[in-house]
Amino acid sequence: MHSCAQGTAVTSYQQAIEYLYSLRLFGAKLGLENTLRLAELAGNPYERLRFIHVAGTNGKGSTCAMLESVYRAAGLRTGLFTSPHLISFCERLQVDRKAVSEADVVRLVAEIKELITHFPPGAHPTFFEVITVMALKYFADQQCEIVVWETGLGGRLDATNIVNPLASVITNIACDHQEWLGDTLEKIAFEKAGIIKHQVPVVVGPVAGEAMEIIQRTARERHSTLFLAGSPGTEPIELSLLGVHQQENAAVVLQTIRVLQSQIGVSDSVVRKGLQSVVWPGRLQLVTTPKGYVVLLDGAHNAAGALALTRTIEQLFHNKPRSLAMGILRDKDYEQICRILAPLFDEIFLCPVDSERTAPPDLLLKSCAAANPAARLHCCDSLAEALDHINGFTVLTGSLYFVGQALELLRAHPAKSGERGLNEWTATRGA
C-alpha cells in the first residue's frame, strides 16, 4: 500500500490544500516521536529559533496575538503560529502578522511531502505534525527573531512541545477536550504543565486549587521558576481588544515580557503601543453588516468562554436590545453553554455549524428553552438564513468555525471557502 505522501507532485495551492486534507485520515495522534523525526529530516529548524510557548484552555490565541504585537512593535521579526484558522489555512503561519503566502505553502508542502517518504508504513505523520514542522521551517527560512508558539491540544504530548522556549506560558485551566486531556481540572492541568521545561521560566495566569498545585509541582521538579501573572489592577490595561478576560490575558503578557526583559528588552512605551494596536479576529469583534446593524462575534466554545462573553455583554452592552445567533459543535458542552448564554437574550437563532461535528439546532433549541422559556427561539437551516432575519444588535457565538463562517458571509475577512474543513480532526493517543 502506498503512503499518501507519494504520487502527484504538489505544484499548485489547490494541490497543497488537497494534500493537507488527505492527512486528516491519520487523525491527530498525541505524542512527539513523529514530529521529532520529521523535524530532524528537515534539519531541526527549531534549533535556529527562539520561542515563547503558550498553552491554556482559553485565551491562548489572544495572549499570543498580544505578545506578537508587542515584540513586533519593539522592532523584532516575529513568527506567530496559532490554530484553528477562521477561514484560510494561511492564517496559521504569520511573519510580522502577514499570513504565509500561497506560493510558500506550495513550496513547504512539497518539501515536507518528500521528507515523509522516509517514514515507514503505518507511521505516517498527522496533519498537525506536518504543519508544525512546516511552521518551523518557514520561521527559520524567514529568520524570525522570536516565535510566539501556540499549542494545538493540551501540551505534554502536543506536536509543538518539541521546542525548548525562552519561557512557557499557561493562560488558565478549564474543562475542554476532556475526551483527550482528562475529565478533571487536575488531569487537564497535568497535560498543560507538560510544556514546562527544565530551568525555563513559566508564567501562569488565573489558575486555582489542585490545578495550580500540579503546575507548581511540575515547575519544582523541572527547576523552573514560576511567575504568577498579577491580577489586573483597578486601572485597566489600555488594550484594543474588548472584554474583562482580555485584561487577565494582558496581565499574563506583561508578566511574560518582564520575565524575558534581560533577554529581550522592551520599553514601557513600546509595550503600550503593542497592546493598543493588537488585532485578533473573531474574539469580541464588532462588525457592521451590509444592512447596517452591528454584530458582536466571539468564539466562546466552552463554558468558561461563555461566562467571559456574558461578563463582557453585561459590562459593555447592557443598554442594547439583544438577539443571539449560535452554532456549537456537538463534542462541546453545548447544554452548559446554552444555560449560560440563553437567559441574556430575548430572541435566539440556533444554526448548524459548517462542520461534520455540528450540534443539531433542535438540540440547542431544547437546551435554550429550558434555560430561558420566555425567549423567542428559531431553528435555522444555515447561518445565512439567521443573518437574513436578524435586525438590531446581535451576538454571534458558539464555535470559532461558526465565527469563521460569519466573517466570510459578512465579508469582514477575505473569502477562502473550503479550507475550514482542515480544522476537523479526531485525536488518538500516542504510545
- Say yes or no: 341 and 394 in one domain: yes
Beta strands in 317-357 (DSSP E): 323-326, 347-350
Q: How many domains does the chain have?
A: 2
CATH number of the domain within which 397 lies:
3.90.190.20
- Say yes or no: 190 and 164 in one domain: yes
Exposure string (b/e) for 275-293, b if CB count within 10 Å is 16 or more?
Answer: beebebbbbbbebebeeee
Bridge-partner residues for 146, per DSSP?
78
CATH number of the domain within which 23 lies:
3.40.1190.10
- Say yes or no: 225 and 317 in one domain: no
pLDDT at 291: 84
CA atoms of 268 and 257, how far apart (whole Å) = 10
Domain that holds residue 200: 13-280
- Closest C-alpha among 330, 276, 293 to residue 70: 276
CA atoms of 365 and 143, how far apart (whole Å) = 50
pLDDT at 320: 74
- Say yes or no: 91 and 174 in one domain: yes
**Is 7 a domain residue?**
no
CB atoms within 10 A of CB 360: 13
- Say yes or no: 359 and 276 in one domain: no
- Say yes or no: 271 and 318 in one domain: no
pLDDT of 196-236, one tens digit each?
A: 999 999 999 999 889 999 999 999 999 999 999 987 666 78
What grid cell was written down for 333? 458542552
pLDDT at 27: 67
- Say yes or no: 123 and 259 in one domain: yes
pLDDT at 329: 92
**Is 406 a domain residue?**
yes
- Say yes or no: 197 and 257 in one domain: yes
What grid cell was written down for 255? 508578566
- Say yes or no: 192 and 215 in one domain: yes
pLDDT per residue, tens digit, the chain (431 aa), is 334 445 578 999 999 999 999 998 776 677 899 999 999 999 999 999 999 999 998 889 999 999 999 999 999 999 999 999 999 999 999 999 999 999 999 999 999 999 999 998 888 999 999 999 999 999 999 999 999 999 998 899 999 999 999 999 999 987 654 444 546 888 889 999 999 999 999 999 999 889 999 999 999 999 999 999 987 666 789 999 998 889 999 999 999 999 999 999 999 999 999 999 999 999 999 998 888 889 999 998 889 889 999 999 988 887 776 899 999 999 888 999 999 999 999 999 999 998 888 999 999 999 999 999 999 999 999 999 999 999 899 999 998 899 999 998 987 665 555 688 888 755 444 43
**Is 332 a domain residue?**
yes
Does the pTM surpass 0.85? The reply is yes
DSSP letters spanning 224-250 = PPEEEPPPP-SSPPP-SS-SHHHHHHH
- Say yes or no: 37 and 117 in one domain: yes
pLDDT at 5: 42
**Is 421 a domain residue?**
no
**Is 6 a domain residue?**
no
pLDDT at 366: 95
pLDDT of 159-199, one tens digit each?
A: 999 999 999 999 998 765 444 454 688 888 999 999 999 99
312 Cβ neighbours under 8 A, 6+ residues apart: 242, 243, 244, 245, 284, 298
CA atoms of 378 and 362, how far apart (whole Å) = 9
